[in-house]
Amino acid sequence: MIITILNGEMQLEPNNFSVYITDLDRQLQKDHTVNHFQLKEMNIRHCTGCWSCWWKTPGICAIKDDMDEIFATIMASDFLIFASPIMRGFTSSLLKRMTDRLVTLLHPYIILTNGECHHRKRYQRYPDFGLLLEKEHDSDDEDIEIIKDIYDRFALNFHCTQKFAWLTDRNNTKEIAYDTHDI
């Protein structure tokens, strides 16, 4: 299986989260092909809302940065891991910025699904994903639920399934690597 880790860690110095994600990468590589994007080391600009990816150059973002590589890798993946420390009650701004840009991978056209409006697929298949979060010192269960709910909504638009939302303090990396066999 091809797994892509989208690491939203923002601190430049090594810390518990970066060590955890590096260990997870190493554990996953025992049985899978792993692509690990450390977003802090990449040039990822904000979506400008120009709609070029929908109308002018369908499926191709007008912004020329490192997202082209991420788009291609995501679509070639079987599974994604959105990884981030919780910062001020949500994922890091790097992970949020990258997630916003994934709108390029969808059609602008809307379909009704269960009475709700959602974007049509641009591609035949989209990878399922998991969410891996590190609690902030003042994070509470409501913060976790809000993040999980927002990524559940993302899954609806991205035509995939959120398979898990785990915290780094509850699961060691060997357990997570083992659990990916059942995905």
Please state the separation of Cα 141 from the chain's center in Å: 21
State both tokens at 153: 């909504």
Q: What is the DSSP letter of 57?
A: S
pTM of the model: 0.94
3-state SS, 134-162, equals ECCCCCCHHHHHHHHHHHHHHHHHCCCCE
Walking along the chain (183 residues) 10 residues at a time, the average pLDDT comes out as 96 88 94 96 96 93 96 97 95 96 95 92 96 91 94 95 89 78 74
Sign of CA dihedral 142, 80, 17, 69: negative
Distance CA 82, CA 129 (A): 7
Distance CA 164, CA 183 (A): 10
Residue with tokens 């910025």: 97
pLDDT at 171: 64
pLDDT at 17: 93
Residue 41, classed as helix, strand or coil, is: helix
pLDDT at 170: 67
Q: Which domains does the chain have, with CATH numbers?
A: 2-182 (3.40.50.360)
- 34 to 5, 28, 127: CA distances (angstroms): 7, 7, 14
Whether 38 and 83 have beta carbons less than 8 Å apart is answered as no
Nearest residue to 132 via CA among 175, 165, 90: 165
Residues 6+ apart with CB under 8 A from 43: 65, 66
